[in-house]
Chains A and B, each alone.
Chain A
Amino acid sequence: MSIFSEARREFWRSYTSKAGTFFIILLSLISLVVVLTMPLDFGTKYWSNPIYWVDYPKTSPPAWINTFMSEKLVEHQVLYSYTPVQVEDLGGSYMKIYSFTYDFKYNQFPSFLTFRIRGLTFYENPPVIRVHIIRPDNKIISLLTYPVSTEGVSQTAPYVLYKTEPKRFLLSGDPSLFRVLSDFLYKEFHISYSPEKVYSVGVEKIIFGVPKDDNSFEPLNGKYQVNILLYCENENDSLGEVAMVFGGRVYGLMGTDTLGRDLFQGLLFGFPVALLIGLATSILSTILGAVLGIVSGYIGGKTDILIQRIADIVNNIPLLPLLIFFTFIFGGKLWVIVLILVIFGWPSLTIIVRSMVLSLKSSNFVEAAVAVGANSIRIMARHIFPQVAPFILAQLIFYTPQAILSESALSFLGLGDPSIPTWGQILDYAFRNGAVYLGYWWWILPPGLLIILSAITFVLLALGLEPVVNPRLRRRR
């Protein structure tokens, strides 16, 4: 027992160990939180599914950069309403009004505008939905008129639509809105824009702005009221949720990529994946390498020569080209990557362990054990292994960052597991979409920093363990 407590004390003495331990606990906690709170199929179901991210702004930097900007960038806002604020009886039919207010206080325009409804229930004829927006200058624009289509509805009342998948209206690309705005501009400002010109200028500029002489638009700040009118025949007809997405130019903690994916979620999911890959690879290759090293060193003879030759040859093989080759052939599944890394990773440990075992073989207590009549397996397990165990442990920890770095390199080349977001994969997507050349720093910086962080954690731990393993390096008291 005292060996362990002395080892522990020795370990704690340096700053590297303390830092390493702190980070490994941090990483593990985050991974634990992720595993517990995020769905395990996050990769296939959400990350790889572009539809899920449609309402997010595309390639937007994180929201907090606004604290450093003198001119604030438009923030992404989604406004909801669940119950009507007013119900009017029109005699024979009803009009339910849902409403919310958008406070526009920026110097640029929102990046897009989307209207969304979820959970429509009606009992008789399909209702009609109208949306209009009242500007601070009291001008009104009718954004949408939609007679509900009965496609896909159930056979009997109550008829329910858009329960699982919401119905989206991408107003920024809606041709009928272009016509409406063309009329609006002519009527209110005596400016003649064709619907095509409205499209090329962008609906957001017209809805949220005031035209100026030089053909540009100045943002009109103030409160905009959005009214959603549901014209229905039965008073029990209702909308579960109405929402308007005012596309921002910044989003969230880590920003978004070209598909609008929230990088914060993607990066979070990468934590447990990185830890898993790193540890799985290093544990497996360490076990393989250590066992072969001990057997090779202790048994000696032909077995030794054979294992040594194989180790020598495998060690000489350049890793990345073959890694690329195999993931290309077999697909970049996680287990394939781990398997290849293990197969090419064991020789370096075997060679070192073997030489340690060779010198141990002639030590006194091993000779004593042989004299007593212990069999080889027993000797290897009980006498030799404990002596090399600390070194093996240190190697295990030291090999983990290599595994993490190798996997991220593979993913960066596009050979990783496409269904799981890893940090390398995020960088691959970034590179392919020219993020480097377009200056999307929030897409490039964080994933790399996280890779470094997880690699450094293990490096620090390994450095902290070194004095424990190699007594010659211990600092003098």
Chain B
Amino acid sequence: MAYSKLGLTKTLTYRGISLVIVLFGVLFLTVIVLGATGVSDRILDSMLMEELRGIRQQLVTQIKDVEQLNKAVEEIKKQLIIAYGLDKPWYERLPSMMLKIITLDLGSAKNIQSFSGSKQISVIIMERLPNTILLVTTAIIINFLIGLFAGTWVATKPGSIIDRLVSLYAAISYAIPTWWLGLINILVFAFFLRLFPYTGMFSAPPPTDPFLRILDLLWHVSLPLLTLIIALSGSWIYITRSLTVTTAQEDFVNVARAKGLPENLVQRRYIVRVVAPSILTNVILGLAGSIGGAILTETVFGWPGMGQLYYEAIVSLDEGLILALTYMFTLVYVIARFVLEVLYVVVDPRVRY
């Protein structure tokens, strides 16, 4: 008993460290790039100017003499330059900048506001994060289940017409850009057929009654979810099917039957249970793609999540927000990945050291 517990901890620790390195690596890389290209100077500069403007506005009510006002502002500006670290070269600001981001002190956005009116980036992000998680996680779970059931079912009929259709469907859906499919879906279902809304997460204004609110949410999430399912379930089904077919041919499955075990038990314990780690691996592998997909899908459907925020940041050229979002995406990815890795080690005893 003690043997496997130790192995578990060791494996997880190793994986955890690996992922933390990824996070820091990304952070380090982005901060260096920002510094070296002079972009971080620009960001800090504009933040400084912004703060200075606010201070000036405040002082205008207090100091009536223009000369005095300007001198006071100049003094404060000098202090701010030191406070922002703009008097030092960018590589000396590195550690404090990294520390700030790690502690989620992300500064404020240029033009974008949160729904509550705050310009604090961390507030904006925290508002949008649940929406992204809602959409992405639901899509992954549905696709996983479709893949599992349809895939194992198709695997019982290898070489049949339905099998070939599945392969064809998988190949085609691999080549279709999910975001374009989203555009087409909006065109067909919203514009031509008028069945679903064009954009957004709720109607404007959203209904106040909680039940109607949920219904409204479901109505709005249908099209993005449908897009993600059509575009991605194909490869899920195909992968599950391939893995199941391979596993079903293994010797131990034969042995299970020879042992006189009923067929559905053989399916569950000797095929699906054995295949589960590999399928989980695929979830892990697809995770990075899901993040990218989230960005694109949210943009197309106007879904107010982190992905759409990224798009808005690009359009409004808000470097500070883009930096913060790059880090946040990586953070979310690392956390999600770690959770899945834990799940994987639980499910597959072979990887425990």
Residues of A within 8 A of B (CB): 312-313, 316-322, 324-326, 328-330, 401, 405, 408-409, 412-415, 427, 430-431, 436-439, 441, 444-445, 447-448, 451-452, 455-456, 459-460, 463
Residues of A within 8 A of B236 (CB): none
Residues of B within 8 A of A330 (CB): 37
Instruction: List the 9 closest pairs (A to B, CB-CB), nearest first.
Output: A320-B292, A455-B175, A448-B180, A321-B329, A318-B288, A456-B175, A316-B22, A318-B291, A325-B326
Stretch of B59-67, B101-109, B184-192, B208-216 on the interface side: B184-192
A476 vs chain B, min Cβ distance (A): 12
Q: Evaluate contact between A325 and B171: CB separation under 8 angstroms.
A: no
A212 vs chain B, min Cβ distance (A): 32
Chain B interface size band reads 35 or more
Within B294-353, the residues touching A (CB, 8 Å) are: 295-296, 299-300, 310-311, 314-315, 319, 322-323, 325-326, 329-330, 333-334, 337
Please, could you name 30 A-B residue pairs with CB atoms under 8 Å apart, sorted by A? A316-B19, A316-B22, A316-B288, A317-B330, A318-B330, A318-B333, A319-B292, A321-B329, A321-B330, A322-B30, A322-B326, A324-B322, A325-B323, A326-B33, A328-B314, A329-B34, A330-B37, A405-B175, A412-B296, A437-B190, A441-B187, A444-B183, A444-B184, A444-B187, A445-B184, A447-B180, A448-B181, A448-B183, A452-B177, A463-B171
Residues of B within 8 A of A427 (CB): 180, 183
B125 vs chain A, min Cβ distance (A): 13
Interface residue? B160 (CB, 8 A): no
Residues of B within 8 A of A313 (CB): 18, 21-22, 25
Contact residue among B19, B184, B292 (Cβ-Cβ distance under 8 Å from A321): B292
Instruction: Report if A322-B26 is in contact (Cβ < 8 Å); known contacts: A437-B198, A452-B175.
Output: yes
Q: How far is the CA of A7 from the CA of B187 in the complex (A)?
A: 45
Q: Evaluate contact between B172 and A456: CB separation under 8 angstroms.
A: yes
Residues of B within 8 A of A456 (CB): 171-172, 175
Residues of A within 8 A of B198 (CB): 436-437
Residues of B within 8 A of A441 (CB): 187
User: A434's closest neighbor in chain B, by CB?
Assistant: B198
Residues of A within 8 A of B19 (CB): 316
B241 vs chain A, min Cβ distance (A): 15
Q: How far is the CA of A412 from the CA of B310 in the complex (A)?
A: 13
Contact residue among A328, A413, A430, A437 (Cβ-Cβ distance under 8 Å from B299): A413
Residues of A within 8 A of B149 (CB): none
Interface residue? B202 (CB, 8 A): no
B306 vs chain A, min Cβ distance (A): 10
Q: Evaluate contact between B171 and A451: CB separation under 8 angstroms.
A: no
Q: How far is the CA of A439 from the CA of B326 in the complex (A)?
A: 34
Interface residue? B176 (CB, 8 A): yes
Contact residue among B174, B296, B323 (Cβ-Cβ distance under 8 Å from A413): B296
User: A312's closest neighbor in chain B, by CB?
Assistant: B18
Interface residue? B144 (CB, 8 A): no
Q: Evaluate contact between B292 and A448: CB separation under 8 angstroms.
A: no
Residues of B within 8 A of A460 (CB): 171
Q: How far is the CA of A413 from the CA of B172 in the complex (A)?
A: 23
B36 vs chain A, min Cβ distance (A): 10
Q: How far is the CA of A445 from the CA of B187 in the complex (A)?
A: 10
Q: Evaluate contact between A448 and B184: CB separation under 8 angstroms.
A: yes
Contact residue among A316, A318, A409 (Cβ-Cβ distance under 8 Å from B179): A409
Instruction: Report if A320-B37 is in contact (Cβ < 8 Å); known contacts: A313-B22, A436-B187, A448-B183.
Output: no
Within B159-205, the residues touching A (CB, 8 Å) are: 171-172, 174-177, 179-181, 183-184, 186-187, 190-192, 198-199
Task: Give chain A's interface secondary structure class.
Answer: helix
Interface residue? B69 (CB, 8 A): no
Q: Evaluate contact between A321 and B310: CB separation under 8 angstroms.
A: yes
A342 vs chain B, min Cβ distance (A): 16
Q: Evaluate contact between B292 and A318: CB separation under 8 angstroms.
A: yes
Instruction: Report if A409-B326 is in contact (Cβ < 8 Å); known contacts: A316-B18, A319-B288.
Output: no
Q: Evaluate contact between B177 and A448: CB separation under 8 angstroms.
A: yes
Instruction: Report if A415-B187 is in contact (Cβ < 8 Å); known contacts: A317-B22, A329-B34.
Output: no
Residues of B within 8 A of A447 (CB): 180
Contact residue among A321, A430, A436 (Cβ-Cβ distance under 8 Å from B291): A321
Q: Evaluate contact between A413 and B291: CB separation under 8 angstroms.
A: no
Q: Evaluate contact between B176 and A452: CB separation under 8 angstroms.
A: yes
The 8 A CB mask of B210-230 against A (1 = contact, 0 = none) is 000000000000000000000
Q: Evaluate contact between B177 and A409: CB separation under 8 angstroms.
A: yes
Residues of A within 8 A of B179 (CB): 409, 412
Q: How far is the CA of A40 from the CA of B282 in the complex (A)?
A: 42
Given A316-B18, A317-B288, A439-B192, 10 other A-B contacts at CB below 8 A?
A: A313-B22, A316-B288, A324-B310, A324-B314, A325-B30, A326-B33, A427-B183, A430-B183, A444-B187, A448-B183
Q: Evaluate contact between B314 and A415: CB separation under 8 angstroms.
A: yes
Within B28-51, the residues touching A (CB, 8 Å) are: 30, 33-34, 37, 39
Q: How far is the CA of A452 from the CA of B177 in the complex (A)?
A: 7
User: A316's closest neighbor in chain B, by CB?
Assistant: B22
Residues of A within 8 A of B292 (CB): 318-321, 409
Instruction: Report if A414-B187 is in contact (Cβ < 8 Å); known contacts: A321-B325, A324-B295, A451-B177.
Output: no
